Amino acid sequence: MEAVLATLRDAIERGEYSVGDKLPAEAGLSKEFEVSRSVVREALRALQALGLTASKTGKGTFVVSNRPVENPVFGHYSARDLLEARRHVEVPAAGYAARRHTSDHLDALTELVERMEHETDNTAWVALDSLFHITIAQASGNPVFGKVIEEIRDALAKQSTLLNQLGDRRAASNVEHRLLLEAISGRDETAAAEAMTHHLTHVESTLSNIVGPTATAVPAADENGDS
Average pLDDT, the chain: 90
Domain boundary among 63, 87, 107: 63
Structural domain of residue 41, as residue ranges?
A: 2-63
Cα 101 from Cα 151, distance rounded (Å): 21
Answer whether residue 155 is part of any domain: yes
Cα 180 from Cα 182, distance rounded (Å): 5
Residue 212: which pLDDT band, with cuts at 50, 70 and 90? low
Domain boundary among 14, 33, 63: 63
* 121 shares its domain with 190: yes
What is the per-residue pLDDT across 65-96, written as a single tens digit (0 to 9) for each? 988 877 888 888 999 999 999 999 999 999 99
CATH number of domain containing 165: 1.20.120.530
Record the pTM: 0.78
* 136 shares its domain with 217: yes
Answer whether residue 68 is part of any domain: no
* 52 shares its domain with 93: no
Inform me whether the pLDDT recorded for 221 exceeds 50.
no
Answer whether residue 90 is part of any domain: yes
| Count of domains forming the chain | 2
Burial of 56 (0-12, 13-18, 19+ CB in 10 A): exposed
Inform me whether the pLDDT recorded for 226 exceeds 60.
no
Answer whether residue 227 is part of any domain: no
Domain boundary among 33, 63, 93: 63
